[in-house]
């Protein structure tokens, strides 16, 4: 069997379809794909927004927290609910802030301590400066009050000195009523100050009722709300009582300062009293010396007179 190809006599047969008809299913598929795509796009956008937000929101919260903490508020805590690396970072940052606060507190405490020490030393140095020189006890007392009351931010003060058996005498006052007879001399056990002298220990009163003691600050009377009475001793002997009144309670530092300077005050007052007694003794001795000298003069004059009388007698009776 052989075959022959009659290529010269070819026909063209064309099978034809409408593209829209043939491609109808694919266009339908395209529409379905488009719908699915739109749906997927919406899901992607929603998921993307959620994921983006779940990352950026904690970061923004962290950034905001860092800014607040950076501005100095170490008590601020970053609240992150995300259980991921950002959440861990927030926890770490809170821990870091806590540690930083601890360190700051320690530093602050050290600084406060240093400042307190400085304040104490400055106060003591200033007090020493105020009480330099040879002053009598009253002048010293006034100088002490003039320094202590403003330095301790008090409003009033008085310094009583031991002036006899079971007695205290007002030596100096600072915005203190000096004309009140009942306050110029106080017996031991009398009132707050006398009780302090009796007990020989510091007394501290706060929340004082009104009109207990008013401080004259011109035309206005202020009522101190806190009082302190501190006895000071020299070699076991009560030298006096320091009384202070303030509108605010005395701080530990102020009390510590007062406790530190009481010995100095006692010494200074004792020295002042000693000087005063010495001066009085000197004056007395001087007076006695002058009297002796006068008596001597009188005796010499008497002697001379006697001698003259003797010589006169001798001359009268020639022997």
Partner 1 sequence: MRNTIGTRLTIGFGVAALMLVGLTLYTWSVSRQSLESSVGNQSVFLADSLMHSFDQKIHRMIEEIQKEVDREIYQQTLVESNRAFARQVNRDEGDGQKTAASRQKRINKNLTDHLSKMFLEYPEKQYGYSQYSNIVVTNRYGIVIAQTDDNTTDRLGNETGWKEAAKKGTYVGRVINHPEHNHGVFPIVVRIDDDEGNMLGLIGVMVVTQDFFREVELFVKPYRSTRIHLMTREGRQLYSTQTFKFWADLSGTKKYRKINGEKGFFIAPKGDRNCLPSPTRWGLRISRTTTGS
Work out whether 39 is an interface residue with partner 1 (CB under 8 A). Answer: no
Work out whether 235 is an interface residue with partner 1 (CB under 8 A). Answer: no
Q: Rounded to whole angstroms, how far apart are CA atoms 316 and 319?
A: 9
Site for partner 1 in 1-30 (CB under 8 A): 1-23, 25-26, 29-30
- Torsions phi, psi of 144, nearest 5? -60, -45
Work out whether 41 is an interface residue with partner 1 (CB under 8 A). Answer: yes
Name the pairing type of β-strands 203-206 and 226-234: antiparallel
Cross-strand bridge partners of residue 220 = 217
Q: Rounded to whole angstroms, how far apart are CA atoms 253 and 316?
A: 91
Q: Rounded to whole angstroms, how far apart are CA atoms 74 and 33?
A: 56
- Residue 261's contacts (CB-CB under 8 Å, 6 or more residues apart) are 123, 124, 127, 148
**Least distance CB 80 / partner 1 (angstroms):** 16
Minimum CB distance to partner 1 smaller for 10 or for 252: 10
Work out whether 278 is an interface residue with partner 1 (CB under 8 A). Answer: no
- Choice from 39, 48, 99, 248 touching partner 1 (CB under 8 A): 48
Minimum CB distance to partner 1 smaller for 20 or for 220: 20
Which tokens in the block code for residue 68?
A: 């607040």
- Choice from 39, 56, 301, 312 touching partner 1 (CB under 8 A): 56
Minimum CB distance to partner 1 smaller for 45 or for 282: 45
Element (H, E) at 311: helix 252-316
Residues that bind partner 1 (CB under 8 A): 1-23, 25-26, 29-30, 33-34, 37, 40-41, 44-45, 48, 51-52, 55-56, 59
């Amino acid at each position: 069997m052989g075959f022959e190809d009659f290529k010269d006599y070819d026909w063209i047969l064309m099978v034809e379809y409408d593209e829209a008809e043939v491609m109808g299913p694919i266009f339908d598929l395209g529409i379905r794909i488009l719908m699915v795509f739109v749906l997927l796009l919406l899901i992607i956008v929603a998921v993307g927004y959620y994921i983006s937000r779940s990352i950026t929101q904690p970061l923004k919260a962290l950034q905001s927290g860092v800014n607040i903490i950076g501005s100095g508020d170490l008590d601020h805590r970053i609240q992150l609910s995300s259980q991921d690396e950002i959440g861990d970072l927030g926890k770490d940052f809170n821990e870091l802030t806590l540690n930083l606060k601890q360190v700051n507190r320690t530093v602050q405490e050290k600084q406060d301590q240093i400042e307190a020490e400085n304040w104490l030393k400055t106060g003591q140095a200033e007090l020493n400066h105020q009480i330099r020189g040879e002053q009598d006890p009253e002048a010293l007392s006034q100088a002490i009050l003039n320094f202590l009351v403003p330095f301790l931010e008090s409003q009033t003060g008085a310094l009583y000195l031991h002036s006899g058996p079971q007695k205290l005498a007002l030596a100096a006052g600072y915005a203190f009523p000096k004309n009140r007879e009942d306050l110029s001399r106080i017996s031991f056990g009398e009132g707050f100050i006398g009780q302090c002298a009796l007990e020989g220990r510091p007394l501290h009163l706060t929340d004082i009722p009104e009109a207990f003691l008013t401080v004259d600050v011109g035309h206005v009377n202020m009522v101190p709300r806190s009082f302190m009475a501190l006895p000071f001793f020299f070699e076991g002997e009560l030298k006096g009582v320091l009384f202070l009144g303030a509108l605010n309670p005395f701080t530990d530092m102020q009390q510590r300062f007062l406790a530190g300077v009481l010995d100095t005050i006692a010494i200074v007052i004792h020295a002042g009293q000693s000087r005063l007694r010495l001066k009085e003794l000197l004056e007395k001795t001087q007076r006695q010396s002058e009297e002796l000298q006068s008596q001597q003069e009188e005796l010499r004059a008497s002697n001379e007179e006697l001698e003259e009388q003797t010589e006169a007698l001798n001359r009268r009776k020639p022997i």
